[in-house]
């Protein structure tokens, strides 16, 4: 049965994992727990549980079944469950996983909230632009064409865009729809192609790095706590980051650990990218034998840094967005008004 297209939202994942953990802790078998969840399941959630039940009934491990749903559970989660099933601590790990998903939801919500304002401003600008091109410009352009005036280049471009939109409305919307579908596909399956040009922008690059380190440290701590070997944990967590610089540091650190060196020594290679406090906390964790606890502290610290950076980013973005939109709208108005002033000037001379 095809499973690659099945997905669950974060709320459904939290509910699933919480309920499984609770029932397993109460001594209910995994198969009975899945049966109980199936009673109230609907849609994709029900289909997901039916497939999991079939796999478990055939004697497969839960992590094997979850690995069939790449849109629901990533490699970190699958390997986390694998380690816990082998160690017999599945119910405890499910609780940790639920907490991790909740933190990831809160983290994502912070980022989405910061993007609401620029998206709203962009939509308002597009609305104004469409109104100008569909309603205002056609009326003005008909007057200019009857008078056979010599128009400035900005006005010609505005009239050409208006003609394209009014005379080929269906084609324009089809092209826009196809473009949106292509962007959505690339973002879903080849996200790095879209994000690569953005993450190198001055302010955004630092924010992306902090977000990467937050996700890395949280996932790494969870894997270590579940008993996953440090080298395997590094290999898994390198894929949760977006920045290539951070990715390379994690890979290089994994190679150094494999060669018998400390993890903190590998991260020292990323001086200027990795905060010094993160390296210090790693060193403390390695000396005390509680690296997973240190990584959790790093995750909490970086989460705070991301929140602070997002507030700064939003505060800087608001006036910049207003300025850009003001200049663009003002430019459109000038493209319309300038020929009118020219016409008035010619009448005055005559």
| Dihedrals phi, psi of 271, to nearest 5 degrees | -60, 130
For residue 251, the model assigns a pLDDT of 92
Mean pLDDT of the chain: 83
Asked if 6 contacts 48 with a C-beta cutoff of 8 angstroms, the reply is: yes
pLDDT in tens, 217-228: 988 998 888 888
When pLDDT is cut at 50, 70 and 90, the band that residue 346 belongs to is: low
Which residue shows structure tokens 């269906």? 170
Sequence-distant (6+) residues with CB within 8 A of 227 are: 83, 84, 87
- Taking alpha carbons only, the member of 68, 47, 65 closest to residue 56 is 65
Sequence-distant (6+) residues with CB within 8 A of 320 are: none
Distance CA 203, CA 205 (A): 6
Indicate whether 193 pLDDT > 70. no
Indicate whether 189 pLDDT > 80. no
Residues 54-71, mean pLDDT to the nearest whole number: 87
CA distances in angstroms from 274 to 104, 201, 255, 277, 344, listed in the order given: 21, 18, 17, 9, 63
Both structure tokens of 69: 């749903």
**Domain limits, CATH 1.20.81.30, in the chain:** 91-350
Query: CA neighbours within 13 Å on the CB side: how many for 334?
Result: 9
271 beta partners? 274
Residues 287-294: contacts with CB under 8 Å, at least 24 apart: 291/224, 291/230, 291/263, 292/220, 292/221, 292/224, 292/225, 293/221
Which residue shows structure tokens 């990584």? 295
Q: Helix %, strand %, coil % for the chain, to 5?
A: 80, 0, 20
Both structure tokens of 334: 């000038």
CATH superfamily to which 91-350 belongs: Type II secretion system (T2SS), domain F (1.20.81.30)
When pLDDT is cut at 50, 70 and 90, the band that residue 250 belongs to is: very high
pLDDT in tens, 26-53: 888 888 988 888 888 888 888 888 888 8
For residue 192, the model assigns a pLDDT of 66
Distance CA 116, CA 95 (A): 32
CA distances in angstroms from 196 to 173, 199, 204, 236, 342, listed in the order given: 27, 6, 11, 21, 46
For residue 252, the model assigns a pLDDT of 92
CA distances in angstroms from 348 to 144, 336, 343, listed in the order given: 18, 19, 9
pLDDT in tens, 99-148: 888 888 887 787 778 778 778 888 888 888 888 888 888 888 877 777 77
When pLDDT is cut at 50, 70 and 90, the band that residue 282 belongs to is: very high
Distance CA 266, CA 272 (A): 13
pTM: 0.74
Both structure tokens of 288: 């005390």
Distance CA 68, CA 7 (A): 11
DSSP sequence for 140-186: HHHHHHHHT----HHHHHHHHHHHHHHHTHHHHHHHHHHHHHHHHHH
Neighbours of 137 (CB within 10 A): 24
When pLDDT is cut at 50, 70 and 90, the band that residue 171 belongs to is: confident
């Amino acid at each position: 049965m095809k499973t690659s297209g099945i997905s669950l939202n974060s709320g459904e994942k939290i509910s699933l994992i919480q309920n499984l953990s609770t029932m397993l802790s109460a001594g209910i078998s995994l198969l009975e727990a899945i049966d109980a969840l199936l009673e109230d399941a609907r849609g994709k959630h029900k289909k997901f549980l039916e497939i999991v039940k079939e796999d478990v009934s055939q004697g497969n491990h839960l992590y094997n079944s979850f690995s069939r749903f790449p849109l629901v559970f990533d490699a970190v989660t699958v390997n986390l469950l694998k380690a816990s099933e082998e160690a017999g601590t599945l119910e405890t790990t499910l609780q940790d996983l639920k907490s991790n998903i909740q933190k990831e939801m809160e983290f994502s919500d912070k980022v989405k909230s910061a993007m609401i304002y620029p998206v709203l401003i962009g939509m308002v600008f597009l609305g104004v632009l469409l109104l100008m091109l569909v309603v205002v410009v056609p009326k003005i352009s008909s007057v200019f064409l009857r008078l056979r005036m010599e128009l400035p280049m900005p006005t010609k471009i505005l009239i050409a865009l208006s003609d394209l939109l009014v005379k080929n409305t269906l084609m324009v919307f089809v092209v826009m729809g196809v473009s949106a579908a292509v962007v959505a596909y690339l973002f879903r399956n080849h996200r790095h192609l879209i994000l690569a040009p953005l993450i190198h922008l001055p302010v955004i690059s630092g924010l992306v790095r902090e977000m990467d380190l937050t996700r890395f440290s949280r996932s790494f701590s969870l894997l270590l706590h579940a008993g996953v070997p440090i080298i395997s944990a590094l290999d898994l967590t390198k894929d949760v980051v977006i920045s290539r610089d951070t990715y390379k540091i994690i890979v290089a650190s994994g190679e150094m650990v494999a060669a018998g060196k400390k993890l903190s020594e590998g991260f020292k290679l990323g001086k200027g990218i990795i905060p010094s406090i993160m390296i210090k906390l790693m060193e403390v964790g390695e000396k005390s034998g509680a690296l997973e606890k240190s990584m959790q502290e790093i995750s909490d610290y970086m989460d705070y840094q991301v929140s602070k950076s997002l507030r700064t980013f939003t505060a800087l973005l608001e006036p910049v967005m207003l300025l850009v939109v003001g200049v663009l709208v003002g430019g459109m108005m000038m493209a319309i008004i300038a020929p009118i002033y020219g016409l008035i000037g010619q009448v005055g001379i005559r």
